[in-house]
Chain A
Amino acid sequence: MERVETFWSKYVFSLDHKVIGIQYMITSLLFLLFGFSLVLLMRWQLAYPGHPIPLIGRFLPDFIAAGGIMHPAAYNTLGAMHGTIMIFLGIVPLGVGAFGNYILPLQIGARDMAFPRINMLSYWNYFAGGVLMLMSFVLPGGAAQSGWTSYAPLSIVSPGQTVWLIAMTFLITSSLLGSINFIVTTLNLRAPGLTFSRLPLFVWAQFITAIILLFAFPVLQAAAILQLLDRVAGTSFYLPTDLIVGGNILDNAGGGSVLLWQHLFWFLAHPEVYVLLLPAMGIVAEILANGTRKPIFGYKEIAGSFAFIAFLSFIVWAHHMFVSGLKTKLSYLFMTTTMIISVPSVAILTCFLLSLKGASIRYRLPMLFALAFLPLFGIGGLTGLPLGFTPTDVYLHDTYYVIGHFHYVVVTGSMIALMGGIYYWFPKMFGRKMNEKWGHVHFWGTVIAMNGVFFPMFIQGMAGVQRRLYDPTVQAHNLAVQPLNILMTASAFILLLFQIPFIWNFFHSIFKGEKTEENPWQATTLEWACPSPPLPHRNFDKEPVVRRGPYEYSVPGRGEDFWPQDKP
């Protein structure tokens, strides 16, 4: 039965996973840009503490920057919201919501997700949560200012946290609805012949990520509800007895534990970082196989490593709590599990590197991003080791070293991979290619500028510069490395500049890009076996039948260097 499509049902409340995927993509890219601009304000403050913010300083309200000079509480707000927005409104919706939604059904040969209406609800919950987060800036009390980690008791007595907690509820709901969809779709809607051992690694990554989210997020929801009640209902889940705030003893009944929040929070937040990583690694696998014209080295090992990482990610969380008063023996335990979890990560990177051996590399744009991922994620991963190792972490915890580490893995790691994914799948989504020349400009500028922003952080961290510090010059030992802040701030602004060609390229190419055929990259996986863009609500003309593995490139004896999964 032909459904009558209105503008609203076709573009706004669509049930088609492809439309929803694009909605996620554009929304998340906008949030990433917004979160980035927040940190630019912070970077100005760090490079020139106490100096008025140029150009826009006089337009900012007094409680943010009186006379253009940033207020310390505003700095904390920017920090907390930057983290929250980049993680929950940026990277996860892009990696999971956008790419997962768009590509997963295509790669398994399905017509849509198992639950299209829940898919739509998932996007709108995300949207609602995002809007609420943004609105929190202008609501009474302002936005959250206790770090994205929202540690008690600061988060309970500080303004702005209530809306954060409510917005997180929408975001967690969105995530859980998405997880259910991804898990059931991957289990139930695979095309005939598509066994688990023939799944593209991108699908493995998304499936395992959905499982992580399913088990981890509800615990944060529980923790957030308890924190909300502490704030508004006078409970004391996280408030110890007779806590003194601002010189007065708190009225609450007490008896709670601040460490309870930390344990519950990190029970989610550690697996969450693998949620940031796995989809990106899946994308790199796809692009590498395609760009090297070889099967990925170690398919089973990579899939197994994804699963092993997911399992281990639930038992390493307290490496974020080494200085919280954990006794040595328990620290040993978490240090051990953390060291172990580095093994599958290294295994995956090694397999990716070995995939390059003997390859006939096509240096197209997506491949550039995938190649850049390898050494940059390597740096991120290696710098995690001193943090997982308790004796060194005691020194490095809460310094800029940590910030350098996680930005390397998430920004120069995941974000680079996600950008590569955009260039790679853009032709499938819009039937046109993005402009190569501007893509090169974007690529080189981005990679160089990113390193300029984040590499000096390791130096600062080792010098002892603390994080979440509004004015680094108040501590004498920071002065020697303070000039690095100017380099980092300049690099950050340059990084912003180099995103302009990307933004222009993206939107311009949707309408005016060079038209392309079904399979412009000559790839083997199923998403390339349907029109570009795929048929609305159907994707494939006929249901594909899968006859071989996902990366049958350069098969000896065949004329072409690629053998699509579904061709006879």
Chain B
Amino acid sequence: MSDSHAMADTNTGIPSGKLGMWVFLASEVMLFGGFISSYVILRTGSTNFVVPGKEMLGVPLAMVNTFVLITSSVTMVLALDAIEKGNVKGLIRNLIFTLILAACFLGIKSYEYPHKWHEGITISSGLFGSFYYTLTGLHMLHVVGGMAYMGYLLRNALAGRYTVQSHARVEYAGLYWHFVDLVWVILFPIFYLL
């Protein structure tokens, strides 16, 4: 039985770190929500909102990227699953996979961006471009932050600091990473498909 399912020594029974991470994620939902509702407003209402054709957006590549990020979420949850069973090697292996996949995501995006620039979709070329780069850019910053978080976990894991009883931060990092994945799962359809 792992740490996170036992009742913690707090009034709510939820460890403070976990509760804190969830509260933080709530604020992030509101942050992305503010952007997304602005997108909804202008995309629906503006008379000057040009949506590029599907061919220009590179949907297949973005789909691959979505798979990449979802897979990284799976490896992250497998990492947590591993340490919950005391399998430190499994934790390390899956953390490394997650990092590699995250880097792939960034790599694909860094191919996508110049491609779009050549198509004429830039941040100032029109509202679509403005929203696209702002939101995916902000998302990328979150990916980079997540990778730093995972690097920190990896360093600790290699030093043997995580055990069956004590691995709370792995779980919290996982929550954050799934949120980052979740945001992309929403951004992908609203920019590439609709």
A/B contact in complex, CB under 8 angstroms: yes
Binding site for B on A (CB under 8 A): 114-115, 118, 176, 179-181, 183-184, 187-190, 214-223, 225-226, 229, 233-237, 241, 252-257, 260, 264, 267
Contact flag A180-B20 (CB < 8 Å), given A222-B35, A237-B130: yes
Question: Of all chain B residues, which has the CB nearest A183?
Answer: B23
Contacts of A252 in B (CB 8 A): 124
Q: Which of A190, A229, A236, A254 has a CB less than 8 Å from the CB of B134?
A: A229
B11 touches A260 (CB 8 A): no
B10 touches A189 (CB 8 A): yes
Kindly provide the distance from the CB of A165 to the nearest chain B CB, expressed in whole angstroms: 14
Question: Of all chain A residues, which has the CB nearest B38?
Answer: A260
B127 touches A184 (CB 8 A): no
B96 within 8 A of A: no
B124 touches A235 (CB 8 A): yes
Kindly provide the distance from the CB of A150 to the nearest chain B CB, expressed in whole angstroms: 15
Contact flag A214-B23 (CB < 8 Å), given A222-B35, A225-B134: yes
Number of B residues whose C-beta is below 8 Å from A? 34
Q: Which 10 A-B pairs have the closest CB atoms?
A: A255-B48, A222-B34, A234-B124, A218-B31, A188-B10, A219-B34, A235-B130, A218-B30, A255-B46, A114-B16
Contacts of B48 in A (CB 8 A): 241, 253-255
Distance of A236 Cα from B125 Cα, bound (Å): 9
Contacts of A187 in B (CB 8 A): 10-12, 19
Contacts of A264 in B (CB 8 A): 34, 38
Contact flag A255-B127 (CB < 8 Å), given A188-B12, A218-B28: yes
A selection of 9 A-B contacts at a CB cut-off of 8 Å is A114-B16, A180-B20, A188-B11, A222-B31, A229-B123, A233-B124, A236-B127, A252-B124, A257-B41
Contact flag A115-B126 (CB < 8 Å), given A255-B42, A255-B48: no
B124 touches A188 (CB 8 A): no
Residue with the greatest number of chain B CB neighbours at <10 A, chosen from A216, A222, A267 = A222
B47 within 8 A of A: yes
Contacts of B16 in A (CB 8 A): 114-115, 184, 188-189
Within B99-153, the residues touching A (CB, 8 Å) are 123-127, 130, 134, 138
B34 touches A214 (CB 8 A): no
Contact flag A257-B20 (CB < 8 Å), given A188-B12, A218-B34, A234-B123: no
B67 within 8 A of A: no
Looking at chain A's contact residues, the main secondary structure is: helix
Kindly provide the distance from the CB of B3 to the nearest chain A CB, expressed in whole angstroms: 16
Question: Of all chain A residues, which has the CB nearest B35?
Answer: A222
Contacts of A189 in B (CB 8 A): 10-11, 16
The proximity string for B residues 70-106 relative to A, scoring 1 for CB distances below 8 Å and 0 otherwise, is 0000000000000000000000000000000000000
Within B1-50, the residues touching A (CB, 8 Å) are 10-12, 14, 16, 19-20, 23-24, 26-28, 30-35, 38, 41-42, 45-49
Q: How many pairs of A and B residues are in contact by the CB < 8 Å rule?
A: 121
Distance of A235 Cα from B126 Cα, bound (Å): 7
Contacts of A217 in B (CB 8 A): 27, 30
Contacts of A181 in B (CB 8 A): 20
Distance of A212 Cα from B112 Cα, bound (Å): 38
Distance of A216 Cα from B30 Cα, bound (Å): 8
Contacts of B31 in A (CB 8 A): 218-219, 221-222
Contacts of A190 in B (CB 8 A): 11
Distance of A217 Cα from B24 Cα, bound (Å): 12
B20 touches A184 (CB 8 A): yes
A180 touches B23 (CB 8 A): yes
Distance of A223 Cα from B33 Cα, bound (Å): 11
Q: Which of B10, B28, B32, B49 has a CB less than 8 Å from the CB of A255?
A: B49
Contacts of A257 in B (CB 8 A): 41-42, 45-46
A236 touches B130 (CB 8 A): yes
* 8 more CB-based (< 8 A) A-B contacts, given A218-B27, A219-B30: A180-B27, A189-B11, A220-B34, A222-B33, A229-B134, A235-B130, A252-B124, A253-B124
Kindly provide the distance from the CB of B67 to the nearest chain A CB, expressed in whole angstroms: 28
Kindly provide the distance from the CB of B79 to the nearest chain A CB, expressed in whole angstroms: 24
B26 touches A115 (CB 8 A): no
Distance of A179 Cα from B32 Cα, bound (Å): 18
Contact flag A223-B34 (CB < 8 Å), given A184-B20, A257-B46: yes
Contact flag A180-B124 (CB < 8 Å), given A214-B30, A219-B30, A219-B33: no
Distance of A256 Cα from B123 Cα, bound (Å): 14
Contacts of B45 in A (CB 8 A): 257
Distance of A183 Cα from B19 Cα, bound (Å): 9
Distance of A537 Cα from B38 Cα, bound (Å): 45
Distance of A237 Cα from B12 Cα, bound (Å): 43
Distance of A264 Cα from B26 Cα, bound (Å): 18
Kindly provide the distance from the CB of A477 to the nearest chain B CB, expressed in whole angstroms: 38
Contacts of A235 in B (CB 8 A): 123-124, 127, 130, 134
Distance of A463 Cα from B138 Cα, bound (Å): 48
Distance of A190 Cα from B12 Cα, bound (Å): 10
Contacts of B35 in A (CB 8 A): 222, 225-226
Distance of A144 Cα from B192 Cα, bound (Å): 38
Kindly provide the distance from the CB of A478 to the nearest chain B CB, expressed in whole angstroms: 38
A215 touches B134 (CB 8 A): no
Contacts of A114 in B (CB 8 A): 16, 20
Kindly provide the distance from the CB of A454 to the nearest chain B CB, expressed in whole angstroms: 34
B134 touches A260 (CB 8 A): no
Contacts of B127 in A (CB 8 A): 235-237, 253, 255-256
A188 touches B14 (CB 8 A): yes
A256 touches B30 (CB 8 A): no
Question: Of all chain A residues, which has the CB nearest B41?
Answer: A260
B134 touches A226 (CB 8 A): yes
Contacts of B47 in A (CB 8 A): 241, 255
Distance of A220 Cα from B38 Cα, bound (Å): 12
B27 touches A214 (CB 8 A): yes
Distance of A48 Cα from B42 Cα, bound (Å): 46
Kindly provide the distance from the CB of A214 to the nearest chain B CB, expressed in whole angstroms: 5
Distance of A500 Cα from B34 Cα, bound (Å): 44
Distance of A143 Cα from B165 Cα, bound (Å): 53
A256 touches B10 (CB 8 A): no
Question: Of all chain B residues, which has the CB nearest A186?
Answer: B11
Kindly provide the distance from the CB of A228 to the nearest chain B CB, expressed in whole angstroms: 10
B123 touches A233 (CB 8 A): yes
Distance of A30 Cα from B33 Cα, bound (Å): 35
Contacts of A115 in B (CB 8 A): 16, 20
Kindly provide the distance from the CB of B123 to the nearest chain A CB, expressed in whole angstroms: 5
Distance of A189 Cα from B31 Cα, bound (Å): 28
Contacts of B33 in A (CB 8 A): 218-219, 222
Residue with the greatest number of chain B CB neighbours at <10 A, chosen from A214, A234, A253 = A253
Distance of A267 Cα from B31 Cα, bound (Å): 12
